[in-house]
Amino acid sequence: MKALCLALFMMSASIPTFAQSTTYESSDTPAMSEAQVAFEKLKTLAGSWVGQLTTSPADSEFSGRFAQFSLRETSRGNALAHEMSLSGIPDHPVTMFYLEEDRLVLTHYCDAGNRPRMVGKVSPDGKKVEFDFLDLAGDNRYGHMHHAVFTFIDENHHTEEWTYMMPGDNPVRARFDLQRTNFELQTASTENASGH
């Protein structure tokens, strides 16, 4: 197995590197699909984020907890990895975003032991990417993540709203009001001030 992993790594090293972001300047280049536009919008969230959780209905165990998010491009820009942690909870659920033909797909690797998939679309004004439930793999006895909305406020602020469908189709909504970490804000300010 180790030899196979090494061989795959060596093969991937010989594949030409592609730019992480795409600029379309030629009129010969086809326009981006709606899914591509939504994916590129999500990629602008790459970085570290912090904020607070509120739930609806209110849940005293979780509402008000401090949240940390990490988003990073991976697989040469073909996927976006999203990881979340909540204060006091030893868990870090992972969500992956990727293009699948003509749609933007989210796969959430849930601590409930299942993997829901959702399909995302960008709003006409470009300020939201909303994901609707597609299908589910794994055990559903504890419920599953069912819906997600990413709202872009400015380059340093966004919100995430996740809807979890409890058994009996009872939704619980979690909202995270997030801002980029101070380190990233300071780095961006320094780069802008120095003209880089």
Distances (CA, A) of 170 to 5, 81, 135: 43, 28, 17
* 3-class DSSP string for 31-81: CCCHHHHHHHHHHCCCEEEEEEEEEECCCCCCCCCEEEEEEEEECCCCEEE
Collect all residues with Cβ–Cβ distance below 8 Å to 195 and sequence separation of at least 6. Answer: none
pLDDT in tens, 81-96: 999 999 888 878 999 9
What are the chain's domains?
32-191 (2.40.128.20)
Note the pTM of the prediction, 2 decimals. Answer: 0.79
pLDDT tens track for 181-196: 975 555 555 455 555 5
Q: Give the separation between CA 50 and CA 157, rounded to whole angstroms.
A: 10
Mean pLDDT of 94-107: 97
Give 164's strand partners: 145, 172
